[in-house]
């Protein structure tokens, strides 16, 4: 996990304000470096008149891979090209990356940009786009191609890492992973629709001697992702790592999914492969320090509501990690004055408001089922209890972190992720029933985000099927996948990473996505399926249709209660919804 900041201006260096700089440091406490350059047009270019550009690069690093910290920005001494990288390249050209990935990505970009004067502009673009298309994993980046005075920036096609931008009429372009908007600045998310390319010194007429970022005509931007099957020109398109959504319709009523259905085993294999990339060879952050660590320090924590998606991930993590490694289950619950009595009134007659939260109830139940299904594993169930007063103390920080998202629903979801990812709460020792304070040492957080969109877990999916059948269901699912980056992922990345934590999303692995999007909808969920006599007599025949393939996998893994758990949105499970008033709607803009 890293923090990226870049500014380009013709009037001087532009540095982040103190709040933004602190947010960047929070994302990457292991290393922080600033690099400034003044640039003019490259020698072969004929620009009639120009002003120099002042470029500021800042990168902060949370180092979780390899044996040493690799400071950023990465600078090539020979060419003076620069890379700011925030991501995890699990594979390059389908080959797994061992150790630190940023150096491998930088070498890939340097090789792709070389030889521009000989081979021409189109070839360089093609090589850069091919290089980006070869990366498997979540990322946001800024790459300055110094010899050719070009800037590339963007996010992966799902938008799993945050990148914001701000432009103004003076010709400044600012990119940042995060912003402190207490000055009222209006940032926007860089769309996860391709790589953005800026020609810093395009041939111009006199009087327009420099790039004015705010004016679209000075952008020379490539920003389209194309599916492999579309036959898009690789010089102007990035290849999508998965196929288009399969919208096939059944010829007749499809058979019901069962434990013996091929898709259950296929999902098991794909999900395990995804998790192996994300939980193996993780080391403690350098921020934790080597002194004072012990075998009981957790390297992996799971954002744990006790629901289907996260509990299946926890169960599979058990099959992957050595048995002696502890795994933390981060379960957050809030005091909501609209729902709960005050904390001071909690007693035997009036239980703690935290224990009344739906996610605390399901979390404890699923924790118990994990203990039975995974003997020998130490699971730490971390009770993260947030009083209303603490929520309000952090409100302004959360609002800044989630910006430019600004609705009541964004805030309620962000509250839950913000405090859960901090990982500070109570645990019960096996030898002592009294809880003690605990702060997770894990900097890698596993999230179940994406399962609902892939396998039809939301109520609106059931509603779409009831109203318009399979055509309505497939349309709704495709829409959800396409807007993940815009609605969820950038916001979640900004909120979670403020505690020097990195969220990883196994359900959004490129390989798993390719499998899931290629399967017809009836092999993933059970809407409209015909139950056979065998299924009707088996307990799994009564499992609800939403995410049925995942529910069957949970059953197969010995998690029968989890398989039957109903979907509950995080803001209702943790009780962060409508904390200040019960009359607001989720879409209401924050005041």
Convert 315-340 to b/e letters by CB count within 10 Å (16 or more is b).
Answer: bbbbeebeeebbbbbbbbbbbbbeeb
What's the CA gap between 279 and 418, in Å, rounded? 22
State the residue for tokens 């290849």: 239
Q: Which of 403, 396, 507 is nearest to 446 (CA)?
A: 507
Kindly report the three-state secondary structure assignment for every residue of 97-159: CCCCCHHHHHHHHHHHHCCHHHHCHHHHHHHHHHHHHCEECCEEEEEEEHHHCEEEEEECCCC
What pLDDT, on a 0 to 100 scale, did the predictor assign at position 483?
Answer: 84
DSSP letter for 280, please: T
- Phi then psi for residue 61, to 5 deg, are -130, 130
Query: Residue 265: its pLDDT value, please?
Result: 97
3-state secondary structure of 4: strand
pLDDT the model gives residue 14: 92
Q: Contact, 518 vs 246, CB < 8 A? A: yes
Residue 215 confidence (pLDDT): 27
pTM score of the predicted model? 0.90
Element (H, E) at 571: helix 570-573
Give catalytic status of residue 2 as yes or no: yes
Output the pLDDT for position 193. Answer: 83
Q: Which of 82, 68, 76, 56 has the alpha carbon at shortest distance from 31?
A: 68
Local confidence pLDDT in tens for the 591 residues of the chain: 799 999 999 889 999 999 999 999 999 999 999 999 998 876 655 555 677 899 999 999 999 887 789 999 999 999 999 999 999 999 999 999 988 899 999 999 999 988 654 444 546 778 888 899 999 999 999 999 998 888 999 999 999 999 999 876 566 899 999 998 776 677 999 988 888 888 887 665 433 333 333 222 233 445 566 655 455 555 566 788 888 899 999 988 898 899 999 999 999 999 999 999 999 988 776 655 544 445 578 999 999 999 999 999 999 999 999 999 999 999 999 998 877 655 455 555 556 889 988 999 999 999 999 999 999 999 999 999 999 999 999 999 999 999 999 999 999 999 999 999 999 999 987 766 788 999 999 999 999 999 999 999 998 999 999 999 999 999 999 999 888 767 789 999 999 999 999 999 999 999 999 999 999 999 999 998 765 434 455 677 778 899 999 999 999 999 999 998 887 666 665 667 667 655 566 567 776
**What is the domain partition of the chain in residue ranges?**
2-239, 266-287+295-452+496-518+561-573
| Pair 502, 65: CB distance under 8 Å | no
130 close to 112: Cβ distance less than 8 angstroms: yes
Burial 146-167 (b: 16+ CB within 10 A, else e): bbbbbbbbbbbbbbbbbbbbbb
Rounded-to-10 torsion of CA 102, 103, 105, 109? 130
How many angstroms separate the CA atoms of 186 and 213, rounded?
A: 16
Which superfamily is assigned to 2-239 in CATH? Aminohydrolase, N-terminal nucleophile (Ntn) domain (3.60.20.10)
Q: Please report the pLDDT score of residue 292 as a whole number.
A: 46
d(CA 144, CA 76): 10
**SS3 breakdown of the chain: % helix, strand, coil, rounded to 5?**
35, 20, 45
State the Cα angle at 258 between 255 and 260, rounded to 5°: 110
Alpha carbons 456 and 545: distance in angstroms, whole number: 8
SS (H, E, C) 144-211: EEHHHCEEEEEECCCCCCCCEEEECCCCCEEEECCCCCCCCCCCEECCCCCEEEEECCCCCCCCCCCC
> CA 161 → CA 356, 494, 527, distances in Å?
34, 8, 33
Which one is catalytic: 2, 157, 326, 525?
A: 2
CATH code for the domain defined by 266-287+295-452+496-518+561-573: 3.40.50.620
pLDDT of residue 206: 35
Judge whether 200 and 171 are in contact, CB under 8 Å. no
* Interatomic CA distance for residues 571 and 414, integer angstroms: 9
Fold agreement (2-239, 266-287+295-452+496-518+561-573):
no
Question: What pLDDT score does 207 carry?
Answer: 35
Q: Is 591 exposed, middle or buried (0-12, 13-18, 19+ CB in 10 A)?
A: exposed
- Closest by alpha carbon to 330, among 310, 348, 354? 310
């Amino acid at each position: 996990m890293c923090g990226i900041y870049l500014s380009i201006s013709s009037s001087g260096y532009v540095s982040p304000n103190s709040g933004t700089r602190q947010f960047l440091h929070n994302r990457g406490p292991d290393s922080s470096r600033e690099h400034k350059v003044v640039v003019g047009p490259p020698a072969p270019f004929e620009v009639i008149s120009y002003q120099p550009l002042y470029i500021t690069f800042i990168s902060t690093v949370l180092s979780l891979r390899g044996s040493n910290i690799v400071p950023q920005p990465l600078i090539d001494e020979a060419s003076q090209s620069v890379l700011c990288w925030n991501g995890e390249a699990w594979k390059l050209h389908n080959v797994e990356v061992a150790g630190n990935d940023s150096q491998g990505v930088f070498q890939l970009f340097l090789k792709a940009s070389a030889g521009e004067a000989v081979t021409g502009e189109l070839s360089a673009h093609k090589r850069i786009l091919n290089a980006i298309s070869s990366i498997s994993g979540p990322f946001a980046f800024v790459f300055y191609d110094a010899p050719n005075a070009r800037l590339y920036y963007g996010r992966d096609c799902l938008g799993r890492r945050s990148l914001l931008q701000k432009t103004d009429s003076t010709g400044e372009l600012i990119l940042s992973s995060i912003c402190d908007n207490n000055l009222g600045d209006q940032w926007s998310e860089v769309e996860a629709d391709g790589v953005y390319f800026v020609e810093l010194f395009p041939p111009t007429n006199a009087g327009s001697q420099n790039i004015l970022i705010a004016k679209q005509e000075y952008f020379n931007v490539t920003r389209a992702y194309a599916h492999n099957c579309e036959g898009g020109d690789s010089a102007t398109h990035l290849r999508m790592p998965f196929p288009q959504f399969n919208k096939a319709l059944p010829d007749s009523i499809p058979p019901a999914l069962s434990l013996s259905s091929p898709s259950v085993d296929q999902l098991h294999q794909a999900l395990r492969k995804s998790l192996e990339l994300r939980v193996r060879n993780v080391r403690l952050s350098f921020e934790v320090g080597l002194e004072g660590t012990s075998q009981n320090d957790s390297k992996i924590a799971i954002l744990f509501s006790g629901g289907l998606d996260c509990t299946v991930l926890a169960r599979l993590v058990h099959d992957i990690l050595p048995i002696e490694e502890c795994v933390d289950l981060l379960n957050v619950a809030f005091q909501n004055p609209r729902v709960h009595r005050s904390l001071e009134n909690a007693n035997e007659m009036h239980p703690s408001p935290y224990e009344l939260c739906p996610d605390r109830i399901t979390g404890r139940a699923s924790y118990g089922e994990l203990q039975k299904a995974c003997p020998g594993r130490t699971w730490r169930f971390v009770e993260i209890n947030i009083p209303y007063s603490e929520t309000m103390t952090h409100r302004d920080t959360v609002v800044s972190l989630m910006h430019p998202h600004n609705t009541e629903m964004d805030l309620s979801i962000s509250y839950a992720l913000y405090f859960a990812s901090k990982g500070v709460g109570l645990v019960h020792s096996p030898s002592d029933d009294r809880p003690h304070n605990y702060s997770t040492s894990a900097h890698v957080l596993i999230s179940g985000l994406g399962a609902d969109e892939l396998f039809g877990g939301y109520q609106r999916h059931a509603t779409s099927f009831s109203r318009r059948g399979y055509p309505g269901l497939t349309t709704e699912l495709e829409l959800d996948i396409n807007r993940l980056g815009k609605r969820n992922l950038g916001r979640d990345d900004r909120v979670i990473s403020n505690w020097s934590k990195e969220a990883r999303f196994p359900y959004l692995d490129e390989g798993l996505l390719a499998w899931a999007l290629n399967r017809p909808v009836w092999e993933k969920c059970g809407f409209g399926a015909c139950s056979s006599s065998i299924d009707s007599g088996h307990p799994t025949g009564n499992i609800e249709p939403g995410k049925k393939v995942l529910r069957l996998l949970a059953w197969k893994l010995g998690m029968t209660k989890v398989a039957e758990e109903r979907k509950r949105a995080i803001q209702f499970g943790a009780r962060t919804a409508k904390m200040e008033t019960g009359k607001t709607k989720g879409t209401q803009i924050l005041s």
